[in-house]
Chains A and B, each alone.
Chain A
């Protein structure tokens, strides 16, 4: 089995998959805590369905580079969703659910009406579950993922304390002169970029798992924001690596295997949290 693994690891497409997988796992875990606490756990679902819809439109319009449409549309939706906050007429979860199913429906409708592909359901299934697209990355896509991931990590580090302040207590932050609106906007943009990136890895249905599982695991055990963030990032990377390797060797679907690894980790961390006597917050 080790030999099979080594053989696979010498292939460029496997190396690409590992690089991109690790980077995406790292990025998606960073804002997990913020999103869980802001009650936006499902934003991964909502936005990835928007991205799916945009992708469908881009395919129909025969755009050369789909990202040109998908990224701006997703960023815009993220900004609109997160901006509404507490005083919105349509509350966060309702707005998310609305956008999520709406975009999914429109995307599928458009693909259905205009698609030229002969195997429609397989195409849709690939977009939703990621299938093996991470194993067919081109060098250009790898570079783009690397650059975007580094940008995400860098901006998270630079805005780390602002993100903390705005998440912990937005009113206080605003009252004491922090431009909460600006930082909420930055959070929204980062989230959107992460989700568009992560669609490659696990497909749009499983992105939420990538965003929230590491954060929830870490919150079971650690008590400070920094420890939780670091633990979530490390855990997410480990789960992605384990999931990818298992998927490659055993031939299971990449996205589902990674999420299964995350879910397993959650079980383990819950037990650790209980053993340490911490109270179980979710």
Chain B
């Protein structure tokens, strides 16, 4: 099933395009890695997909009911470094999108938060203070929060940046597991090895952005490092 269709999209700020003629589709269960140099519009694309900024032109169509049911793992903000919040509070806040004007979390949200903390392996940390966790633990907490918002798609913006190799490995394992359980993944990364290992498709940003199956991308590049 097609989750997202992008047609002739142009992206940029204040009328100046960074990317033009971008067309691709995302299907159920795919693992799409977005590669490209700094400034090639990777994060802009993600922000546009999330509805945080409008495209300059072109069409972007989420499947029925997915518009606000996309899980997002953003790069961390400075505010969060000082924020006094327990892990459970952070994960629960991922349910906010489905709350509408309902003021308090019910049993369903609490169960969902618990389940997602279990999926990303942070359940044991649920009463700990978020700001005192290690970088890897923090990312898995934010991943659990994203899962509370997501039913079928996760968007990840360089989720492993700044993590040590072990934490990185652990995070990618969790993401891969989620993908195998049927979650479509769209991930910005700088790490070609990661793309080679996990992705099903590669979206190469740049002047002529194209989406190709992974095998094709790496075959054409002859495995060379970009």
Question: What's the minimum C-beta distance from B3 to chain A, rounded to whole angstroms?
Answer: 16
Q: Is B31 an interface residue when CB atoms closer than 8 A count as contact?
A: no
Interface size on B, residues (CB 8 A): 38
Question: What's the minimum C-beta distance from B131 to chain A, rounded to whole angstroms?
Answer: 7
Closest to B100 in A: A177
Tell me the complex Cα distance, A37–B79, Å: 6
Question: What's the minimum C-beta distance from A167 to chain B, rounded to whole angstroms?
Answer: 7
Verify B52–A175 contact, CB threshold 8 A: yes
Tell me the complex Cα distance, A114–B128, Å: 58
Verify B89–A224 contact, CB threshold 8 A: yes
Tell me the complex Cα distance, A183–B52, Å: 16
Please give, as numbers and ranges, the residues of chain A lying within 8 Å of B51 by CB-CB distance: 174-175
Verify B94–A168 contact, CB threshold 8 A: no
Q: Is A228 an interface residue when CB atoms closer than 8 A count as contact?
A: yes
Please give, as numbers and ranges, the residues of chain A lying within 8 Å of B103 by CB-CB distance: 157-162
Give chain B's interface secondary structure class: mixed
Question: What's the minimum C-beta distance from A113 to chain B, rounded to whole angstroms?
Answer: 43
Q: Is A110 an interface residue when CB atoms closer than 8 A count as contact?
A: no
Q: Is A4 an interface residue when CB atoms closer than 8 A count as contact?
A: no
Verify A223–B128 contact, CB threshold 8 A: yes
Verify A224–B84 contact, CB threshold 8 A: yes
A211-244 vs B, Cβ < 8 Å mask (1 yes, 0 no)? 0000000110011111110000000000000000
Please give, as numbers and ranges, the residues of chain A lying within 8 Å of B72 by CB-CB distance: 171-172, 175-176
Tell me the complex Cα distance, A37–B131, Å: 13
Please give, as numbers and ranges, the residues of chain A lying within 8 Å of B146 by CB-CB distance: 172
Please give, as numbers and ranges, the residues of chain B lying within 8 Å of A173 by CB-CB distance: 93, 96-97
Q: Which 9 pairs of residues, A with B, have the shortest CB-CB distance?
A: A177-B68, A223-B129, A176-B97, A224-B86, A177-B97, A175-B50, A176-B149, A165-B96, A165-B93
